[in-house]
Structure 1
């Protein structure tokens, strides 16, 4: 498994580590693969349900609020000060470039060292059909946008739109380019998404 991971990392622009606690890939395997990648290291995005804090030094993490609460032993809810402390603590403990916390109907919060926290409201309706796979959609869109040259802010807004589209569908769903563009246009969010 380590050899396959190292080969995949070596040729990638971005890598998403989805760790659901099954033990297939852990933080030490990822660090070893990155050392073997040489000078051209990919962007690494982490979604780890139970071991988020062990993935230190990666590019970004996109936990949901309940994962943050469980990892840090805090309660956030509607308390923006608690959210701020938790987001800043993750940035510091994980030594990542950014933390994007998904908050369900409360939207998202983007944390970066030395930057003000950006609170991103949900797009579309808050009457969700199914949240299955929404986190995967968010991290995939966030990673792809950053690998294509977007800023963290632009990537977060685009990921917010992608997540907003898939939660309106039943079951595990995907978002098409057309659906994503329509969501951005409908919300008048082009400046945030495309840096205009």
Structure 2
């Protein structure tokens, strides 16, 4: 049970936390970590409150990597050069990114009672993520994905939902709701049931906590009810095209599709454009474009979008401008693609800061 102080606090959306506040450090491998740092007002004017945490509610997968020269044709069998299993899943990726960037981060999600579940828990814990709200589901295996990695770093992925989609209660536990309501910002994706995301987004909105929805995951329309409670929608080009039924081949078309998202109720649309960078579309304002920070060599693009979204969220809750958020996210994504794997490729804050300093 996570305990929270009954005290009125300023809206963390408008706070700029002290970056020197220590990040959360795991104490054991049994998922028992320190209680959530509750934003509070101190009677001692010299004391700084703990920054309200990044809370990621979402998926965790065991990523089964196979390195291939090309994708197989229909009915064809090909050999893989190597194969290995690494921790991943959009939710777990984003949570570890937050932890590696030295920001207090909590993960709310589900794994199975199996070896893959232990792999993910260890990876989250090793990334500095608090696991108080990680649940083990007895009746379903841990979610997993087959990642087919090609020599140029591009990938194709097949996902099996497992515990990410099974066993969620119809109503979230009070402890999960409390973690969300005391967050500084909440990150969601579409690899867990829509009804969970809707409950989380409603709870966050009711407490003035901003919500970013990464559009990656289930290839299905986003429920209008969910869009009502989202502050920032973050799709890539193809996801934006599917969500709006509009082409996204040129920047003008992307802008028009983002405008359709505004009509659907989302005020800000953060579009990941791969090698073309990213763009933030805020309703009523000119779009803000961000080019990529080129990597010396692209090894694996898996997790790059998750890194970008999570890094943007961390910068935003720390009070950075939108331009600074885009630069920070671009630097994090550039470092991510230089390492194989999703969670193993998440960069630390010092590396991101150094790259920004060198580039700008």
Per the TM superposition, whether the score is higher than 0.5 is: yes
Normalising by the residue count of structure 2, what TM-score does the alignment of the two structures yield? 0.47
List alignment gaps of at least 5 residues for structure 2: 1-168
CA positional deviation for 1:24: 6.6
1:82-97 alignment to 2 at 5 Å?
82-96=253-267
Q: Secondary structure at the match of 2:264?
A: helix
Change over 3 Å in CA distance of 1:91–1:153 after alignment to 2: farther
Q: Does 1:150 align with 2:320?
A: yes
Q: Does 1:16 align with 2:187?
A: yes
CA positional deviation for 1:94: 3.1
Q: Does 1:60 align with 2:232?
A: yes
CA positional deviation for 1:72: 1.2
Change over 3 Å in CA distance of 1:58–1:73 after alignment to 2: same
Cα distance in 2, alignment partners of residues 126 and 93 from structure 1: 39
Q: Does 1:119 align with 2:286?
A: no
Q: Does 1:48 align with 2:215?
A: yes
Q: Does 1:161 align with 2:308?
A: no
Deviations 1:43-82 (A, max 9, x none): 11111334446332322122111111111122212x1210
Change over 3 Å in CA distance of 1:168–1:53 after alignment to 2: farther
Name 1:76's counterpart in structure 2.
248
Preserved CA contact (<8 Å) 2:311 2:329: yes
Cα distance in 2, alignment partners of residues 139 and 110 from structure 1: 12
Q: Secondary structure at the match of 2:246?
A: coil
Q: Does 1:185 align with 2:357?
A: yes
Q: Does 1:103 align with 2:279?
A: no
Deviations 1:145-165 (A, max 9, x none): 111111222212211111111
Preserved CA contact (<8 Å) 2:300 2:340: yes
Change over 3 Å in CA distance of 1:174–1:109 after alignment to 2: same
Greater Cα radius of gyration, structure 1 or 2: 2
Normalising by the residue count of structure 1, what TM-score does the alignment of the two structures yield? 0.83
Query: Which has a greater percent of strand?
Result: 2
Change over 3 Å in CA distance of 1:126–1:110 after alignment to 2: farther
Preserved CA contact (<8 Å) 1:46 1:52: no
Q: Secondary structure at the match of 2:235?
A: coil
Preserved CA contact (<8 Å) 2:277 2:292: yes
Change over 3 Å in CA distance of 1:160–1:92 after alignment to 2: farther
Query: Which has a greater percent of helix?
Result: 1
Name 2:45's counterpart in structure 1.
none
Q: Secondary structure at the match of 1:94?
A: coil
Change over 3 Å in CA distance of 1:146–1:43 after alignment to 2: same
Preserved CA contact (<8 Å) 1:99 1:111: yes
Cα distance in 2, alignment partners of residues 166 and 115 from structure 1: 30
Deviations 1:61-107 (A, max 9, x none): 22111111111122212x121011012221331333x2110011111
Alignment coverage as a number of residue pairs: 182
